[in-house]
Amino acid sequence: MSDITQEAVIAALKTVNDPELHRDIVSLGMVKNLQVADGKVKFTVELTTPACPLRESIDADCKKALASVGIKDLEISFGAQVRGSKTGPGQTDLLPTVKNVVLVAAGKGGVGKSTVAVNLAAALKAHGAATGLLDADIYGPSVPILMGIKEQPRQVPVDGGVKLAPPIAHGLPVMSIGFFLESDQAVIWRGPMLGKALHQMMADVHWGDLDYLVVDMPPGTGDVQITFSQQLKVSGALLVATPQDVALADVIRAKSMFDKVMIPIVGMVENMSYFICDGCQKRHEIFSRGGAERAAKRFNIPFLGEIPITPALREWGDKGVPILVQQPNSEISKIFMEVAAKLAGQLSIASEAAKKSQGLKIIAT
Start-end ranges of CATH 3.30.300.130 in the chain? 6-80
Is it the case that residue 225 has pLDDT exceeding 50? yes
CB burial of residue 68 (10 Å; 0-12, 13-18, 19+): exposed
**Does the pLDDT at position 222 exceed 70?**
no
CATH of 98-353, one of 3.40.50.300, 3.30.70.1710, 3.30.479.30, 3.40.50.970: 3.40.50.300
**Mean of pLDDT values over 120-145:** 91
**AA identity, residue 350:** A
Q: What is the Cα–Cα distance from 303 to 297, expressed in whole angstroms?
A: 8
The residues near 236 (Cβ < 8 Å, ≥ 6 apart) are: 85, 102, 103, 263, 264, 265, 266, 267, 346, 347, 350
Query: Range(s) for CATH 3.40.50.300 in the chain?
Result: 98-353
| Range with the largest mean pLDDT of 50-64, 75-89, 175-189, 212-226 | 50-64
pLDDT at 18 over 80: yes
Give the 3-state secondary structure percentages of the chain, helix then strand then coil, rounded to 5.
35, 25, 40
Residues 6-80: name the CATH superfamily: Fe-S cluster assembly (FSCA) (3.30.300.130)
pLDDT for residue 361 is more than 50: no
Q: How far apart are CA 254 and CA 239, in angstroms?
A: 8
Q: Give the separation between CA 214 and CA 207, rounded to whole angstroms.
A: 12
Distance, C-alpha 193 to centroid of its chain:
28
In DSSP notation, 141-197 reads --HHHHHT--SPPEEEEETTEEEEEPPEETTEEEEEGGGGS-TT------HHHHHHH
The SS3 assignment for 315 reads helix
Gap between the terminal Cα atoms of the chain? 24
Q: What is the pLDDT of residues 293-347, one digit of tens each?
A: 888 888 899 999 999 988 888 899 999 999 999 999 999 999 999 999 999 999 9
pLDDT one-digit tens code per residue, 31-83? 999 999 888 999 999 998 898 878 899 999 999 999 988 888 999 999 998 98
User: 3-state DSSP call for residue 314?
Assistant: helix
CB neighbour burial string for 317-337, b if at least 16 within 10 angstroms, e if fewer:
beebbbbbbbbeeeebbebbb
